[in-house]
Structure 1
Amino acid sequence: KTGTVQIFSSFTSFENILSELMEHHVICYDVEKDLFPLVLSNCQYSLERGHETISEYDLPRIQQQILTHFLQGKPLITRAGIPVLVNTQERDYDTIFKTVCGKVPQIPLSSLAQNTVSRELDSYSEVCAALKIVELLLGFLSLTSGDPTMKLVTYLQDVLKMDQNIDHHILKAFGKCTLGHCVCLWKVLSSLRSENMLRLKRVSLAFAGKSFSNRNVDQWLIEIHEVLLLGLGCLRATEDWNPSWSLKQAVSVYMRHKDVPPYMKEDFPENLQLSQIVETWKYAITAKQEWMMEG
């Protein structure tokens, strides 16, 4: 059966053959880039002493903005005749990283390159867009291979032919990166995305722990974010990790096969538990922001 599209307006309604569908007919959005900021911008937080933070959402306004930004003027598309691709499982980044490393040897990003990425991508939407590009790169590299010394921007331009569709800020942020940096770049960007999300949510923190030096905090945030995302975020996390474990011990175990600076294992307060890792991560971000404001 041929799929059809019904387009309704205040004046007419008509049907289009599925083959005549254009890109602008389809609702296109990114949850983290488009929906999260919209929802969070219509959220009010209140905090009372001795109580948890209370979130209040302006649901009518959120609904109106979704209608205006994404649904207005779009046709009603029936599913008949449309081939459907369903992704039944989450991406296993740990496996993807191992596959990529086997085909394209990976090395850490220098502090200078990390600072360039952070400086150039100064908005949440840009970080999300950059992360999507790196995820696409990882997908290609896991299926093919590549020269680890090739400039990442060159690969995007000459191999994937994507440079015309990429914001110049993102290309500039990738300027010091090669294909051998893709895994590390993904970790840096995913950590930056979470930092931006934390700022968007305006989370109030009340955590008193050992402070980290300004010199070490950027790398510390990236490594701890990896533990949160890939270690504690996996399906077997509740079986493999005990929240009562020492945070220092748990992180040391996770990083036992990694080449990390000594301070990653040494600069941990002894009295923290694994269950406090999220608050510890938030505290470090807050400390970093304060240092940046102080200059």
Structure 2
Amino acid sequence: MEQHVICYDVEKDLLPLVLSNCQYSLERGKETISEYDLPRIQQQILTHFLQGKPHISLTGIPTLINTIEKDSESVFKTIKGKVPQVSLNALIRNGVSRELDSYSEVCEALKIVELLLGFLAKTGGDANMKVGTYLKDVLKMDIEEHILKALNKCSLKHCVSLWQLLSSLKSENMLHLKMGPFSKYAAEYQDPLSEENRTELKGFMSPANAAQWLLEMHEFILLVLGRPYATDRYKPFWSVKEAMLLYMDHKEVEVPVYVEENFPENLLLSQILEAWKYVVTSKQEWMNEG
């Protein structure tokens, strides 16, 4: 969607305005009737949000469109061409994850990073500049201090990897809150795991260097398997390893030797959603065991 010049919060700005112009009437034995003063609401919206604001024509101005999920391949490729990218190390990943300890914070941070990616794809930037510095000094954004602190652990060279992390954290939070992050995905990708699958995944995920691979898996799930007719391109009977190697090759990203040698061969693409959920819900337990 296009990023609008007029910014407002539905719950903080619009709802109080609407409710202040609502009258309730109750007749015995009947339901409560709500009557809204629509002309007054319209006038107050004009006064509060539009009056005095300059009209800006889009003619000649590049329009910023949030297309991360629609056209991620070209957005990420464009960014990498303008701002060389590297993966977040474990220390930064863990630091960001600890700072953003609620679903709402993760969603807000992800929204900000997606906006940032849109700008970087258009204008580029200094790879070593801190994300927080860019947001405050270049984009002039007013961001909650807690979220800014988390994002400022990263530089612009980490932005694509930061998006990977935040989008995965969002899905993880949804999973823990029983919101079903992949409920609308094709049933062909939601087969259960066998005990052998679980054992092999546990063995693979134990080393710390497998964490980045889990983020790559989530990106693949989110951006590829969530598309319409994904099963026509990525067959459910393929192995996850085969499909992921194809995806990584298409992205021109090198696959770690550890993954090449140790990722479970028998895990099928039809099981990838359950595999990701299993690892996410079990990794803390595995860490405690270690």
Length-normalised TM-score, structure 2:
0.69
Q: Distance in 1 between matches of 2:177 and 2:127?
A: 35
Q: Does 1:176 align with 2:153?
A: yes
| Alignment match, 2:5 | none
Q: Distance in 1 between matches of 2:289 and 2:151?
A: 28
Residue 168 of structure 1, CA deviation:
2.2
Which residue identity lines up with residue 94 of structure 1 in the other structure?
E
User: Greater shift after overlay, 265-274 or 280-289?
Assistant: 265-274
Q: Distance in 1 between matches of 2:126 and 2:166?
A: 22
Residue 294 of structure 1, CA deviation:
5.0
Residue 123 of structure 1, CA deviation:
1.1
Q: Does 1:269 align with 2:246?
A: no
Mapping of residues 119-138 of structure 1, within 5 Å: 119-138=98-117
Mapping of residues 117-266 of structure 1, within 5 Å: 117-162=96-141, 164=142, 166-201=143-178, 208=195, 209=197, 210=200, 211=202, 212-235=205-228, 237-256=230-249, 257-266=252-261
Residue 169 of structure 1, CA deviation:
2.3
Q: Distance in 2 between matches of 1:145 and 1:269?
A: 39
Which residue identity lines up with residue 10 of structure 1 in the other structure?
Y
| Alignment match, 2:73 | 94
User: Percent identity between the aligned chains?
Assistant: 55
Deviations 1:15-63 (A, max 9, x none): 22746307999xxxxxxxxxxxxxxxxxxxxxxxxxxxxxxxxxxxxxx
Contact 2:241 2:264 in 1 (8 A): yes
Q: Which runs of 5+ in 2 are unaligned?
A: 1-17, 26-34, 50-64, 181-191
Q: Distance in 1 between matches of 2:47 and 2:281?
A: 41
Q: Which runs of 5+ in 1 are unaligned?
A: 26-86
Q: Does 1:21 align with 2:45?
A: yes
Which residue identity lines up with residue 135 of structure 2 in the other structure?
L
Cα distance 1:22–1:268, how it changes in 2: closer, same or farther (>3 A)? farther
Contact 2:240 2:267 in 1 (8 A): yes
Which residue identity lines up with residue 267 of structure 1 in the other structure?
N
**Greater fraction of residues in strand:** 1
**Greater fraction of residues in helix:** 2
Contact 1:128 1:193 in 2 (8 A): yes
| Alignment match, 1:69 | none
Length-normalised TM-score, structure 1:
0.68
Residue 228 of structure 1, CA deviation:
0.6
Deviations 1:174-233 (A, max 9, x none): 222111111111011101111111111188x87522112152342232011011112222
Contact 1:149 1:178 in 2 (8 A): yes
| Alignment match, 2:12 | none
Q: Distance in 2 between matches of 1:131 and 1:202?
A: 18
Cα distance 1:22–1:195, how it changes in 2: closer, same or farther (>3 A)? farther
Cα distance 1:167–1:241, how it changes in 2: closer, same or farther (>3 A)? same
Q: Distance in 2 between matches of 1:276 and 1:17?
A: 51
Deviations 1:108-155 (A, max 9, x none): 112211111111111111111110000000111112221111111100
Which residue identity lines up with residue 270 of structure 2 in the other structure?
S
Deviations 1:247-278 (A, max 9, x none): 22111221222123222333222222111111
Q: Distance in 2 between matches of 1:252 and 1:142?
A: 26
Q: 3-state DSSP class of the match of 1:10?
A: strand
